[in-house]
């Protein structure tokens, strides 16, 4: 069994996953409420919270699985990309755990982790496929040719899709995280009420900064009372524009690579509009869309583990090398 630890952003998570990809326990302590009043993740606050939670969350995962460290064969931990101070909490604790019991340590790339959420028990999809990874920190298209190997096709040139949702929610006076609050309000609105732009870029890259600006001006043009009446239409139209940008690119990627199957992972995979617009795609289960440690332990199954003592000087990285 693999014990996974994830502390790259604002969720402190631990999980126990078997070699065959069965999730025995997955514990996620979200800090969303802590960061809500700032409208985004404050790195120092996140790191402080990770330190408070990393021990209890790991203990809770072991208890939930009815397991002890005797049952654990390897420790997996997110090495990057993410917030350096936050990653260091997880990596330091994981190194200490592995060292104490002379276990191998598996450093996992967070983005590989998201893709590996598709190889857990509940989600049967096998490579090759095109993968859309959309979250608050990342928006990427990858050609996944094998478990544990993928090739970058396109990425965002400015904001991540989840960030675009967060910024849009702030402009509309909605709560954080923005994806969920816009999605909720969009149910009551008309997605065609406002024609927001969808960036047209060469290749398979994304851009959401123009869309955010368009929303800003649409909000500014409306009187207070009018804005209240049209908020749902704005949310629906804004979501529609993000979803259109994502699903068009997915279709482009499928055409260019000749891969006919599509999977969607990351926090934005929970968005109902995106699920509707990609009816044939495989979506990561809701429990494994937002950051979690089950996906990290899952990815560790396809990475060469570092045996003791090769991980004792392991460091983290902020962005993918």
Residues within the interface to Zn ion (CB under 5 A): 135, 291
Residue span binding other proteins (CB under 8 A) among the ranges 94-102, 110-118, 184-192, 236-244: 94-102
Residue 48 binds: one of Zn ion, other proteins, none (C-beta under 5 to 8 A by kind): other proteins
Nearest distance in Å: CB 277, Zn ion: 21
Identify which of 42, 24, 44 has the alpha carbon closest to the alpha carbon of residue 32.
42
Sequence-separated contacts (24+) of 138-147 with Cβ below 8 Å: 138/81, 138/111, 138/114, 138/266, 139/206, 139/208, 139/246, 139/268, 140/111, 141/204, 141/249, 141/250, 141/253, 142/111, 142/115, 143/253, 143/257, 143/259, 144/115, 144/263, 147/116, 147/119, 147/301, 147/302
Specify which residues 262 forms β-bridges with.
130
> Least distance from C-beta 8 to other proteins, angstroms?
14
155 touches, from other proteins, Zn ion, none (C-beta below 5 to 8 Å by class): none
Q: How many CB atoms lie within 10 A of CB 171?
A: 16
Size of the site for other proteins (CB under 8 A): 34
- Does 56 sit near other proteins (CB under 8 A)? yes
Closer to other proteins by Cβ: residue 89 or 265 = 89
Nearest approach, Cβ of residue 2 and other proteins (Å): 15
Question: Residues 222, 172: contact at Cβ < 8 Å?
Answer: no
Determine the number of helices (DSSP H) and then strands (DSSP E) in the chain: 10, 10
Three-class secondary structure of residue 187 per DSSP: coil
Residue 90's binding partner among other proteins, Zn ion, none (Cβ under 5 to 8 angstroms by kind) is other proteins
Write down the least CB distance from residue 291 to Zn ion, Å. 4
Member of 93, 215, 253, 296 binding other proteins (CB under 8 A): 93
How many angstroms from the chain centroid is the CA of residue 55? 23
38 binds other proteins (CB under 8 A): yes
Nearer to other proteins, 63 or 195 (CB): 63
Nearer to Zn ion, 163 or 291 (CB): 291
Q: Which of residues 95-114 bind other proteins (CB under 8 A)?
A: 95-97, 99-102
- State which residue, 139 or 237, has the beta carbon closest to Zn ion: 139
Q: Rule CB under 8 A: is residue 220 a binding residue for other proteins?
A: no
Of positions 2, 13, 15, 54, contacts other proteins by CB under 8 A = 54
The piece of 46-54, 153-161, 169-177, 211-219 that touches other proteins (CB under 8 A) is 46-54
- Burial annotation 218-242 (CB, 10 A radius, 16+ → b, else e): bbeeeeeeebeebbbbbbbbbbbbb
Nearer to other proteins, 45 or 222 (CB): 45
Give the C-alpha separation, 92 to 246, whole Å. 36
Cα–Cα distance for residue pair 231/219, rounded to 1 Å: 9
Phi-psi domain of 74 (left: phi exceeds 0; alpha: psi -120 through 50; beta: other): beta
Contacting residue, 23, 65, 76, 94, with other proteins by CB under 8 A: 94
Q: Footprint of other proteins on this chain (CB under 8 A)?
A: 38, 42, 44-45, 47-48, 51-52, 54-56, 58-59, 69, 84-85, 88-90, 92-97, 99-102, 309, 312-315
């Amino acid at each position: 069994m693999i014990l996974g630890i994830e502390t790259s952003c604002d969720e402190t998570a631990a999980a126990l996953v078997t070699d065959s990809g069965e999730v025995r326990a997955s514990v996620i302590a979200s800090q969303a409420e802590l960061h809500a009043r700032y409208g985004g993740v404050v790195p120092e606050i996140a790191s402080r919270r990770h330190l408070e939670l990393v021990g209890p969350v790991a203990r809770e995962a072991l208890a939930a699985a009815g397991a002890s460290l005797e049952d654990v064969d390897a420790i997996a931990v997110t090495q990057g990309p993410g917030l350096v101070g936050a990653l260091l909490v997880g990596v330091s604790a994981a190194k200490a755990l592995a060292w104490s019991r002379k276990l191998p340590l598996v450093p996992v790339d967070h983005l590989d982790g998201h893709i590996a959420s598709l190889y857990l028990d509940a989600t049967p999809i096998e490579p090759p496929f095109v993968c859309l990874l959309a979250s608050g920190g990342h928006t990427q298209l990858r050609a996944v040719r094998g478990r544990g190997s993928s090739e970058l096709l396109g990425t965002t040139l400015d904001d991540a899709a989840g960030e675009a949702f967060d910024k849009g929610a702030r402009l509309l006076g909605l709560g954080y995280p923005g994806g969920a609050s816009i999605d909720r309000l969009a149910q009551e609105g008309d997605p065609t009420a406002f024609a927001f732009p969808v960036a047209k870029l060469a290749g398979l890259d994304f851009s959401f900064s123009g869309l955010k600006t368009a929303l800003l001006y649409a909000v500014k043009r409306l009187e207070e009372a009018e804005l209240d009446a049209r908020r749902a239409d704005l949310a629906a139209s804004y979501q529609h524009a993000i979803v259109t940008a994502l699903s068009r690119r997915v279709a482009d990627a499928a055409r260019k690579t000749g891969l006919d199957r599509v999977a969607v992972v990351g926090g934005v995979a929970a968005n109902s509009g995106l699920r509707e617009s990609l009816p044939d795609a495989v979506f990561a289960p809701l429990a494994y869309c937002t950051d979690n440690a089950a996906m990290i332990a899952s990815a560790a199954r396809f990475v060469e583990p570092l045996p003791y003592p090769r991980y004792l000087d392991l460091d983290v990285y902020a962005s993918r090398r």
